[in-house]
Amino acid sequence: MQGAGRRAHRDERQDDDHRARGHIFRSAGRSTRVGGNIGNALINEAVAAATTDWLIAEVSSFQLESIRSFKPRISAIINISPDHLDRYFSMDEYVEAKLRIFANQNAGDTFVGNLDDERINVLAEGEGAERIKCRALWYSREPHRMSTLYQRNGAKIVYAPPTGDPRPVDVMDVAEIGLPGEHNVDNVMAAVLIALAAGIEPQAIRAAVRTFEALPHRLTRVAEIDGVTYVDDSKATNPGAVIAALRTFDEGKIVLIAGGKAKGTDFADFGKAASSRTRGVVVIGEAAEEMAGVIRRAKVVSADSMEAAVERASELAKSGDVVLLSPGCASFDMFASAEARGDAFVAAVQRLQRGTEAVH
């Protein structure tokens, strides 16, 4: 790809927020290609991109370790939570790999950061800010003197232009975001600020966000059976993603299915969230014993297959509850991919539904 190509980059786990950026850019009439760790190889998209295209690129910490000339026009870090500690010696080393995203940026570029994330907001002021050699724009849930984008009373997403007209601009209502969970609101805010940094008008951004549809396996509602809602969040492959998913639903009315192949992460915070927010937990896979060991109050049972896990979860759940598949681990101990794991959950729920309908 030629150096004149324009690039926007984001970091962390979510395919939906990555696709949302592409959707906003395309809806605004920008010629855009999307690639990276979402099924489209970045190198293929980069080769095919014209110099006037925007290339929305998801780049992993693994890839950032060895960059030399990678220099995005706009970079972003949405959140950093423990992950891949089977590869890195420490969390600090993992964070440093992430922060290489802006290593080659200069005054003509832009970095977008989440002011609410404690591992990112250290870059906003003092010595941390000195590491960033480009323009930095910040977003947050609450108004803050550093925020270019924020929420007003949890109801409006507001843009405070960093230069020029000092009057804040209402971009959209939070209620217009069709994705469940506070973390998805954060992800959309990042997409909005990236689009604003690229010169896209607020009206076009709002129109695009309102028409965005989520990918499968991202807090996807599968079915309701006897008053219990079954939700597929198989793409939640680290503990932080599970915690975010648990916060989406009513405390004490969740039966969680979690487990898989651990990646060296600490499950302590997961254990606290699962203990306080769930009615029960069904653990599966290689990490089952480790995850069960950090859950103190909720009932914990184990299962050796997804079908058995869904059956056990249905036995624990009561009408009004949510059975949530949000594994917090990689899938490769039992499944070829997170998608295959989610598909197995959906199939098991559908079998349960057919059996229930036959009984009724």
- Does the structure show a pLDDT above 80 at 177? yes
Place of tokens 């859950």: 295
Tens of pLDDT, residues 221-247: 999 999 999 999 999 999 999 999 999
**Separation of alpha carbons 193 and 209, rounded Å:** 12
Tens of pLDDT, residues 269-284: 999 999 999 999 999 9
- Does the structure show a pLDDT above 90 at 252? yes
pLDDT at 92: 96
Using alpha carbons, select from 60, 148, 160, 77 the residue that is nearest to residue 111. Answer: 77
Taking CA atoms, 178 is separated from 21, 184, 188, 210, 317, in Å, by 15, 9, 10, 7, 26
Q: Which band of pLDDT confidence, cut at 50, 70 and 90, is reported for residue 355?
A: confident
Tens of pLDDT, residues 329-340: 999 999 999 999
Question: What is the share, in percent, of the chain residues with pLDDT greater than 70?
Answer: 93
- Laid out side by side, the sheet with 6-10 consists of 32-36, 54-58, 6-10, 74-77, 110-114, 135-140, 147-152, 156-159, 169-173
Average pLDDT over the chain, rounded to an integer? 92
Residues 53 and 33 sit within 8 Å (Cβ to Cβ): yes
- Does the structure show a pLDDT above 90 at 290? yes
Residues 35 and 46 sit within 8 Å (Cβ to Cβ): yes
Place of tokens 């802006």: 102
For the chain, what are the domain ranges? 6-210, 220-359
Average pLDDT of span 318-337 = 98
Domain 220-359 classification at class level: alpha beta
pLDDT at 79: 92
How many distinct helices (H) and strands (E) make up the chain?
12, 15
pLDDT at 360: 64
Span 6-210: which CATH code? Answer: 3.40.1190.10
Tens of pLDDT, residues 100-127: 999 999 999 999 999 999 999 999 999 9
Rounded to two decimals, the pTM is: 0.78
pLDDT at 17: 61
